[in-house]
């Protein structure tokens, strides 16, 4: 089960803020009154040091209030940064190989496509729209999880993918052969080819299995308004809009901008050798 960290952060910030407010409005005054009463009743019978220690103890905030006040600003800053500026993600699958590898830690620009409220995702300010060729994080229509794919189709586009060739509005997207490679699949390594492809001026790598897999019978899609057609760069080994349809604008999370760390699965130390901008 995926953990909704935005929801967790919002709950923690609200909890800490509520405790701080409760202390300020309700709990603080009785402590101050007790301190003042003890100072007046004991000022003559106690030494200054002894009285000061007792007053400090009487005025001390409960531990939970002290922690709430300490954590509230820190959690609030993290919530703002994560919700509106930049959020980290880890790549869990190989659908974007060779651009992104399993174990890549990436940064996602949360304001590139407009500012959205945390948890509910309501857009509160427009910034820009996704463009063809960009790599985007989103929630797909069939599952409440974060996915990452490349934007292939914009609202109103006609997308055709047939015989391992991609057409956007009837125009073939040219790809240039790079090398023969072995492609890791659920049934083992299969022979394939590595290409470079350019969409809307964005050059990126894609890979294709030589064999005809016949997983999909549909070849053409017309993208409805307010939706985007997403595909993985690992073209024959990606669950994407060819299977579950276009992504609604309301389910956009942000634009993937950089790989900042990589960690192989298992007991392996993280590496920074793959750090790069994402194209």
CB atoms within 10 A of CB 268: 10
pTM for the full model? 0.82
Which residues does residue 199 pair with via DSSP β-bridges, in sequence order? 202
**pLDDT over 90 at 168, yes or no:** yes
User: By the 8 A CB rule, do 254 and 193 touch?
Assistant: no
First CA to last CA across the chain, in angstroms?
30
Burial degree of 46 (CB within 10 A; 0-12, 13-18, 19+): middle
- For every residue of 92-145, DSSP letters joined together read -SSTTTTTS-TTEEEEEESSTT-EE-TTT--EEE------TT-EEEE--TT-SS
Residue found by looking up tokens 């003890």 in the block: 38
For 61-105, how does the pLDDT look when each residue is reduced to its tens digit (9 = 90+)? 889 999 999 999 999 888 888 888 898 898 989 999 999 999 999
Catalytically annotated residues: 95, 149
Give pairs for 261-268: CB < 8 Å, separation 24+.
261/104, 261/105, 262/101, 262/103, 262/104, 262/105, 263/103, 263/105, 264/103, 265/102, 265/103
- More confident call, 124 vs 195: 195
**Arithmetic mean of pLDDT, 262-275:** 88
Distance (Å, whole) CA 263 – CA 89: 12
**To which H or E segment does residue 197 belong?**
strand 188-199
For the chain, what are the domain ranges?
Answer: 5-84, 91-277
The answer, yes or no, to whether residue 217 has pLDDT greater than 90, is no
Across residues 41-61, what is the average pLDDT?
Answer: 77
Tokens 């301190």 correspond to what residue? 35
Tokens matching residue 164: 């391992």
Distance CA 13, CA 11 (A): 6
Mean pLDDT of 146-171: 96
The helix-helix angle for 28-42 and 48-59 (nearest 10°) equals 160
Q: Does domain 91-277 have CATH number 2.10.109.10?
A: yes
For residue 72, the 8-state DSSP code is: H
For the record, the structure tokens of 156 come out as 């109103």
Cα dist from 14 to 10, 24, 67, 87, whole Å: 6, 15, 14, 20
Is the confidence at residue 20, as pLDDT, over 70? yes
Q: How far apart are CA 51 and CA 54, in angstroms?
A: 5
* pLDDT at site 116: 87
Q: What are phi and psi of 256, to 5 degrees?
A: -70, 125
């Amino acid at each position: 089960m995926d953990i909704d960290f935005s929801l967790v952060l919002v709950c923690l910030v609200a909890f800490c803020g509520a405790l701080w407010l409760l202390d300020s409005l309700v709990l603080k005054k009785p402590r101050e009154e007790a301190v003042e009463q003890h100072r007046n009743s004991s000022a003559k019978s106690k030494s200054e040091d002894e009285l000061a220690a007792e007053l400090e103890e009487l005025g001390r905030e409960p531990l939970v209030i002290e922690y709430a006040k300490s954590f509230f600003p820190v959690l609030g800053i993290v919530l703002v940064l994560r919700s509106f500026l930049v959020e980290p993600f880890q790549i869990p699958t190989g659908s974007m190989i060779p651009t992104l590898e399993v174990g890549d830690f990436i940064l996602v620009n949360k304001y590139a496509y407009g500012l959205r409220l945390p948890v509910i995702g309501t857009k509160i300010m427009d910034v820009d729209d996704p463009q063809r060729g960009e790599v985007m994080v989103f929630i797909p229509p069939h599952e409440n999880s974060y996915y990452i794919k490349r934007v292939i189709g914009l609202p109103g586009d006609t997308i055709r993918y047939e015989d391992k060739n991609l057409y956007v509005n009837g125009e073939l997207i040219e790809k240039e052969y790079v090398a023969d490679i072995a492609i890791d699949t659920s049934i083992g390594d299969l022979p394939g080819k590595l290409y470079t492809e350019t969409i809307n001026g964005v050059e990126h790598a894609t890979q294709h299995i030589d064999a005809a897999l016949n997983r999909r019978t549909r070849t053409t899609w017309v993208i409805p308004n307010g939706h985007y057609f997403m595909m993985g760069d690992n073209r024959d080994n990606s669950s994407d809009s060819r299977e579950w349809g276009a992504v609604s604008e309301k389910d956009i999370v942000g634009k993937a901008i950089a790989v900042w760390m990589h960690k192989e699965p298992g007991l392996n130390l993280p590496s920074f050798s793959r750090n790069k901008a994402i194209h």
